Amino acid sequence: MGAGYEGRLFIDGEFREARSGNRYDVINPADESVVAAAADAGPEDVADAVTAARRVADETTWATDHAFRRHCLEQFHQALRKDVEELRTIVTSEAGVCTAVMGTHVDAMIEGMDFFNDLATSFPWERELGPYELLGMRSNRRVRYQPYGVVGAITPWNAPFMTAIWKIHHSLAAGNAVVLKSAPDTPLTAARMVQLIAEHTDIPAGAVNTISSADKAIAGDALTGDPRVDLYHFTGSPGVGERVQQRAAIGSRKVVLELGGKSANVLLPDADLDSSCAMGTFMCMATSGQGCALPTRMVVHESIYDDVVERLTANIGNMPWGDPTEPNNIVGPIIRAEQVDRMEGLVNRAKQAGAKVPVGGKRGDRDRGFWYEPTLVVDVDENAEIAQNEVFGPVLTVVRYEGDDDEAVRVANNSRYGLSAYVQSADEERAWAVAGRLNAGTVNINNSFYLSPDGPFGGWGISGVGVEHGVEGFAEYLRIKTIASPC
């Protein structure tokens, strides 16, 4: 297992190979070296994992012993804190995430666990409604919140620690058992997390199970086709999210979907251009542009358009990129060759349609690995392919608008996506007025960012169903029961 990384499946408290014995290589996108080998699960392995989770949900006190759950989750929290450097290394090795942004991907996510650890015991699991009379019967009513049982969690490759800790930790905090299927490219982070669970916590065997598979469809279809799973929690593309939702409809299982984005960053005429352009560049390029909520579509008023393009050209032209382990680099590798091919096609077709590319617009000049230079695409029509589709790479698209704030809102909302949005204005009241009209689950004004343990995060439109984080995100893992008894 290259570098000594654990790559086996974790099922019912034990690491094991896939029943087939098959493995596949996990590739470092920066240099195409083999990081480790991972077990290649088949449908039979997924079924084993669901069986283990089902047993915990149905036959143990995990769902009802809130104090014990909190104790276990605090053990997990401490283990992650002590292992943070190893986790950071794994995330960079398998996902290519730059060291410069690792604090957001790993450190902040670990520190934010306190919020959900506390909810394990502080959440109002029951509440009294008081008496009510109907049909001559006077009844006391009590509302009870209970976990769904078994959560089928599916995570993407772009943020393997961030998305895995959300789904594992939040599922467990609410009292569920979980089967987590990692993206084929990035199974090692979750394997390390459950290794810590096995070695340092009292979390019962079967409460957490992890699956890796070279073909995402094989294991994914096995998981979403298993009627014993009660809730699916998926982060990924809208297309796959729709398939998860369709398959979950059989048996009327619940879904929470955090899908893609083409987030508008609206620069009103009075925006501070220094901070707006600096922030807009960094936020778009962070994680090599491979983030669903990043501001990849800048909507700029005509009166400041030329000035903004000049600043963005300089910023992106000087954007440090390359080896993700170098602390100054912001843009690292792209996850795989197919992704580079896809973004190259999008940018080339944009140029053919009349857009201009002042900087970037080509593959990175490296002997090994998968690279695309930080790129600026300007003079883009609001309805153009590159303005309407998620690139998922270091590409900032700029759209000009004319007119007042109503027009800014219209152009920003001209998208099927609605995950996040950004507004830049020197007038905070004006910015709030625009923010309130944007069709997005989160909106960021000037130098602010929504991401926090207590702030709900979810998409509108094709960007998702339900929310993560906050009390609202915790409640997504719970179903509601009302019990009546005679007064």
Instruction: Write the DSSP assignment of 400-467 as a string of letters.
Output: EE-SSHHHHHHHHT-SSEESEEEEE-S-HHHHHHHHTTS-SSEEEESS-----TTS-B--EETTEES-
Q: Give the whole-angstrom CA distance, residue 31 versus residue 28.
A: 6
Is 344 annotated in the active site?
Answer: no
Q: Please report, as a single letter, which amino acid is at residue 41.
A: A
Q: Is-contact 347 361, C-beta < 8 A?
A: yes
| Residue among 258, 390, 468, 476 flagged as catalytic | 258
Residue 427: how many other CB atoms lie within 10 Å: 12
Q: Please report, as a single letter, which amino acid is at residue 334.
A: I
Q: Give the whole-angstrom CA distance, residue 87 versus residue 112.
A: 16
Terminal CA-CA length for the chain: 64
Q: Give the whole-angstrom CA distance, residue 22 versus residue 7.
A: 12
Q: Is-contact 39 1, C-beta < 8 A?
A: no
Q: Give the whole-angstrom CA distance, residue 267 versus residue 299.
A: 6
Residue given tokens 């919140």 in the structure block: 145
Which residues does the annotation mark as catalytic?
Answer: 258
